[in-house]
């Protein structure tokens, strides 16, 4: 496998869920040692011009992310492209970003699968109901691809991968998602010309014994058949994990059936960000 030289999903200390020691300088040093050519910082954020943020997001407005540019003023960035993005939110069909956000960041990635945020992202009637959870994942993914503000964001973070669930519970959800439903999702992503994330942290949290029959691979298989394009995101919340994930990314991509060829379009497109 040729080296994949980008990472477009990295969290700094400005994300409340990340390490307080997750400084940009440490990530940049690691990125150079790892041979990356592009690193993108995507701290969690909500556009404060949009009503409906949860308390967690209210403390993380997108405007605060301008502070990151101060952190790199005295850092040698030779041979490394640093871009500043944000991981927004699609909460029960509410997109927490508008054009206003692009005043503060270079690009946006949007998740629809933070379904551990029960009652905010995941509708209340879907809680502890695998079938309704499954239907929500499918419908939210497709509606995000078809969103009227689709042009605002680069890609979908950890697509169709419910965050914070055990493998057993993810499998229960996927038991209600048919191949035709996944094909519909894939075709919507292809039609929208949207990049889909291969999230290293998601796979890393799944026990290796579950990799061989990993249910979310069905989604990636559908997307490959549809001709979708992918980008790599470590979703690292500290520099040490960032290093580990990139040192092992070849092994981590295998369970979802992706290789370096699947990232070539993203690698080229990144130069426009």
User: Which pLDDT score is estimated for 2?
Assistant: 75
On whether residue 159 sits in a domain, the answer given is yes
User: Which pLDDT score is estimated for 1?
Assistant: 60
Distances (CA, A) of 246 to 4, 120, 195: 9, 32, 20
CATH number at residue 116: 3.20.20.140
Instruction: Note the pLDDT tens digit of each residue in 46-66.
Output: 999 999 999 999 999 999 999
On whether residue 174 sits in a domain, the answer given is yes
Q: Are strands 90-91 and 94-95 parallel, antiparallel or unpaired?
A: antiparallel
User: Which pLDDT score is estimated for 76?
Assistant: 86
User: Which pLDDT score is estimated for 78?
Assistant: 85
On whether residue 268 sits in a domain, the answer given is yes
On whether residue 106 sits in a domain, the answer given is yes
On whether residue 1 sits in a domain, the answer given is no
**Which percentage of the chain shows pLDDT scores above 90?**
95
Q: Is the predicted pLDDT of residue 233 greater than 70, yes or no? A: yes
On whether residue 133 sits in a domain, the answer given is yes
247 lies in which domain range?
A: 6-272
Distance, CA of 93 to CA of 259 (rounded, Å)? 32
Instruction: Note the pLDDT tens digit of each residue in 125-171.
Output: 999 999 999 999 999 999 999 999 999 999 999 999 999 999 999 99
Q: Is the predicted pLDDT of residue 98 greater than 80, yes or no? A: yes
Number of domains in the chain: 1
């Amino acid at each position: 496998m040729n080296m994949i030289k980008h990472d477009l999903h990295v969290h700094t200390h400005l994300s409340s869920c990340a390490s307080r020691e997750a400084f940009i300088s440490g990530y940049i040093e690691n990125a150079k040692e790892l041979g990356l050519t592009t690193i993108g910082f995507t701290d969690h954020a909500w556009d404060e011009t949009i009503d409906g943020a949860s308390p967690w997001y209210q403390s993380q407005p997108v405007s605060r992310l301008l502070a990151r540019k101060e952190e790199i003023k005295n850092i040698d960035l030779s041979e490394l492209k640093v871009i500043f993005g944000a991981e927004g939110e699609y909460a029960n069909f509410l997109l927490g970003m508008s054009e206003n956000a692009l005043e503060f960041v270079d690009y946006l990635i949007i998740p629809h699968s933070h379904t551990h945020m029960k009652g905010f992202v995941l509708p209340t009637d879907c809680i502890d109901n695998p079938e309704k959870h499954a239907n929500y994942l499918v419908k939210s993914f497709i509606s995000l691809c078809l969103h009227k503000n689709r042009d605002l964001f680069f890609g979908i973070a950890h697509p169709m991968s419910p965050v914070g669930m055990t493998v057993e519970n993810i499998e229960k959800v996927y038991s209600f998602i048919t191949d035709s439903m996944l094909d519909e999702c894939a075709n919507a992503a292809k039609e929208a010309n949207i990049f889909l994330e291969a999230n290293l942290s998601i796979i890393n949290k799944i026990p290796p014994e579950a990799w061989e029959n990993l249910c979310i691979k069905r989604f990636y298989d559908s997307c490959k058949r549809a001709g979708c394009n992918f980008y790599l995101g470590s979703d690292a919340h500290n520099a040490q994990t960032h290093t580990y994930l990139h040192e092992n990314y070849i092994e981590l991509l295998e369970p979802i059936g992706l290789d370096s060829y699947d990232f070539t379009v993203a690698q080229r497109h990144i130069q426009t960000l």
